[in-house]
Structure 1
Amino acid sequence: MTVRAAWLLPTGQTREDTRLAPLGAMAPISELVSRDGVIAGGTPLAATGVGPMQLQIGTGRAVIQGTAPQGAYPVAVTSPETLTVADGDAQYGRVDTVVLRIRDGLYDTSEQTLATVEIIQGERSANPTAPPLPPACLALWDITVPAGTSAGVGGITWGSALADRRRYTAAYGGIIPRGWGLSFPGAYDGQYRDTGTGLERWSTSAAAWQPYPADSGWQSLALASGYGNPGHGTAAAWRRLGSLVMLRGRIGPTKAGATIPNGATLATLPTAIRPGGGAEFGWAAPRDQTSRGPSVTRAEITRAGALRIYEGSDLPTWVSLDGVAYTTD
């Protein structure tokens, strides 16, 4: 037996079944329902065409959720399973779905206690779509079966016919790996998932997945009256990534030909992006080129969030914030 499910058979579950099946508290969806999905590691339940109309599903493990009272079934495929795709319709194409499926006679009408890898055939159509799935099923792959397909005419072109439908799950508290589809809600504050390019954290109050570390994206810096970016390059902006704050852009007087006075406050930063520890943060800020050549001036952010500069003479017409970074910790 190469497809094994723990806690399915009324009798006969072996110690090997129990060791191979993924047991433990899985990522929740609600109070009694677990997120079903494939267990990551290697290339679980991979699909390989092994004949004109035959497909092989490799080894792997998964969790299949039934109804809430039914619970979740841990499943292990311990040897590759070979499936045969039915010939295509003479007129229309269809989409079939390869699934891991649980049949449990205590909760369905199958009168069986069985875990299988099988193909659920889609409806033939001019615009075919994947078939609806019965309960206690986990989609693995979609197969596009063009009209007239059969072994006698060359069979299925596996390289283009397969669409990966594997979604992944993890143990409670683990990061859910990226798989098919990201349009699912989280179950609790602090749940994490991998998007393929970074991490997201579920916020119950916002009812949304949010980038982690939290990323504000670039936001315009509200400047003091009389200051802006009149022809001085990139507009002043800030970005917060977790506790790291980055600044960029240039600031100068809006009045043509004016300079920035000594001690001038150019902006007051929002509380959320002020330097941490109650300390002032200072740096040498690049400024306009003068008769002395390229130079810098002292800039600082005060405890109250005032962004200001100090220049005793040769007052600048603009200063740059590019490359400034500090933390709010």
Structure 2
Amino acid sequence: MNLRASWVAPTGQTREDTRLTQMGATTPVDPIRARSGILPGSYSGQHRVSGFWMEGKSAMAATLYNGRAVIQGLHPQGSYPVSLIEDMVLSFADGDAQSGRVDLVCLRVYDGSYDSSNKWQAVAEVIQGTPSPTPVAPTAPPLSLPLYTVSVPAGTSAGKGGINWANALTDLRVPVVSLGGILPVVGEVIPGAYPGQFQDNSGVLQRWDGSAWVSYPSALGGIAPKGTLTTASYVGQYRDTPQRVLQRWNGTTWQPAFPAPIFIENRDAGYMTAATYTEKLLDTALPALTTTFNAPTSGSVVLTYGARTWTENSPAAYGFTSVRVTQGATVVWEPDDERSAVGAGQYANSVSTSLKLSGLSGDLPYTVTVMHRGSQATARTWFDSISLRIDPLF
């Protein structure tokens, strides 16, 4: 027959048999065994795998096209290269009168040195399934490579239209390549056999890192394109986002690689009659001005804050605007007059100050709250157009 195999028949292997079947395809599964599968390639170069392609030929028959494959045996058997040099036709039995069935098409090696077949040959077989209200494909026999399942509905025959080839076939073929080659993914994604193995998965080059396939170039320190990476594989990995923001993985979350300044403001005036710092103002619908930022790796930021300040009926009074900085329950900065923007008098004047805050722990979140006080508890001290800006330093 046209399906040839190497080193199966005890005698009679021809030079032609050897030339046709020696292909060097040994995608490893473990140190001893290779992966069973089809060698990739197509005549047009447009398809990943065209070997052993099958399509309907007539009502109850299909054409299996030429190709090359490797079928792995048990550890002591090794792997069997096989080649189908000419297309062949496979016939299917009529359907059961009551129930449908699923047939399995496979390549199979009979090696009488290891089985009881008393045969030494490679064949393409149709293994007929069992009719059932919920049919399933039969189990692939030992030393075989499944190619397709074929759905055969109840009552199917040549006289009744035959098999609907447009939707009857399920492709089970998997590819193999030589050791170190880039494996094209067709169908199910199979775990790698060693760190450093590569595969092409729907146009994305991936590398096996020992536990998962990692998309290239992220495995080599490149910037992962937007939409391709949800969870990083190492601290310091970068990705682009649909918002065009470059992000860095800190081990837990994605954060902006270069944090932008933060600016917030309250533009509704409020007053206070306290001589101690507080974040709450009276006669305003706005809450206290507060925000959280993640410290840059340098541990330093510049804080700029201020307000439009005046005192009511007390020209000698002062208004102080300062900040409290916390990291969780730990207070880093308490509001302090020396770190305040100070305004005085009954006429509104805008004041601000900029200070460097250092010694922060990179990537940890910090909270900044703008706070105020008046120099006289009996006077109303007003604050309006309150603002806070945080600039990370690198």
TM-score, with length taken from structure 2 = 0.58
Report the secondary structure of 1:170's partner residue: coil
Task: Say if 1:86 and 1:268 are closer, same or farther in 2 by CA, change over 3 A.
Answer: same
Tell me by how many angstroms 1:185 deviates: 1.9
Which whole-Å CA distance do the structure 1 matches of 2:390 and 2:159 have between them? 76
Q: What secondary structure sits across from 1:128 in the alignment?
A: coil
Is the Cα–Cα contact under 8 Å of residues 236 and 251 in structure 1 kept in the other structure? no
Residue 23 of structure 1 is matched in structure 2 by: 23
Among candidates 225, 229, 248, match of residue 217 of structure 1: 229
How many Å separate the matches in 2 of 1:28 and 1:71? 12
Looking at structure 2, the residues matched to 44 and 236 of structure 1 have their Cα atoms a distance apart, in angstroms, of: 44
Structure 1 residues 83 and 200: CA distance shift in structure 2, 3 A: same
Query: Does residue 44 of the first structure (1) align with residue 51 of the second (2)?
Result: yes
Aligned counterpart, 1:292: none
How far is the alpha carbon of 1:250 from its aligned partner? 7.5
Deviations along 1:244-283, whole A, 9 cap, x unmatched?
xx9689734253269xxxxxx985259xxxxxxxxxxxxx
Question: Equivalents in 2 of 1:199, 1:235: separation in Å?
Answer: 23
What percentage of residue pairs aligned between the two structures are identical? 42
> Conserved in 2, the CA contact under 8 Å of 1:101 and 1:116?
yes
Q: Which residue of 1 aligns with 2:34?
A: 34
Q: Which has the larger radius of gyration?
A: 2
Is the contact made by 1:94 and 1:129 (CA closer than 8 Å) also made in structure 2? yes
Q: Deviations 1:142-167 (Å, cap 9, x if unpaired)?
A: 10111110111010011111111110
- Does the CA-based 8 Å contact 1:22-1:63 persist in structure 2? no
Residue type at the aligned position of 1:255: I
Report deviation, 1:27: 0.9
**Pair 1:105 & 2:112 matched:** yes
SS where residue 200 of structure 1 aligns? strand
Query: Relative to structure 1, is the Cα distance of residues 39 and 254 closer, same or farther in structure 2, using a 3 angstrom cutoff?
Result: same
Aligned residues: CA RMSD: 3.2
Question: Which residue among 198, 202, 213 is the counterpart of 2:208?
Answer: 202
Equivalent residue in structure 1 for 2:83, among 71, 76, 79: 76
Q: Within 2, Cα distance between the matches of 1:20 and 1:186?
A: 28
What is the match of residue 299 of structure 1?
none
5+ residue gaps, structure 2, are: 43-49, 219-223, 233-242, 250-254, 268-292, 299-361, 364-386
The one-letter code matched in structure 1 to 2:148 is W
The one of 94, 106, 109 aligned to 1:87 = 94
Distance 1:188 1:198 in 2: 19
Q: Is the 8 A contact 1:235 1:250 kept in 2?
A: no
CA gap of 1:37–1:218, structure 2 versus 1, over 3 A, is closer
Equivalent position of 1:273 in the other structure: none
**Pair 86,9 (structure 1): closer, same or farther in 2 beyond 3 Å:** same
Identify the residue that residue 60 of structure 1 maps to in structure 2: 67
Q: Deviation per CA, 1:39-89, whole angstroms, max 9, x where unpaired?
A: 011121111211100011000000001111111100000011111101111
How far is the alpha carbon of 1:109 from its aligned partner? 1.1
Normalising by structure 1, report the TM-score.
Answer: 0.69
* Cα pair distance change 1:64/1:250, threshold 3 Å: same
Instruction: Tell me how far apart the structure 2 counterparts of residues 7 and 74 of structure 1 sit (CA, whole Å).
Output: 9
Contact 1:236 1:250 in 2 (8 A): no
What is the distance in 2 between the residues matched to 1:128 and 1:254? 65
Amino acid at match of 1:2: N
Assess if the C-alpha contact under 8 Å between 1:235 and 1:249 holds in 2. Answer: no
Pick closer, same or farther for the CA change 1:217–1:91 going to 2, 3 Å.
same
Query: C-alpha distance in 1, partners of 2:55/2:294?
Result: 63
Aligned residues: 252
Cα distance 1:197–1:269, how it changes in 2: closer, same or farther (>3 A)?
Answer: farther
Does structure 2 retain, via aligned residues, the 8 Å contact 1:174–1:192?
Answer: yes
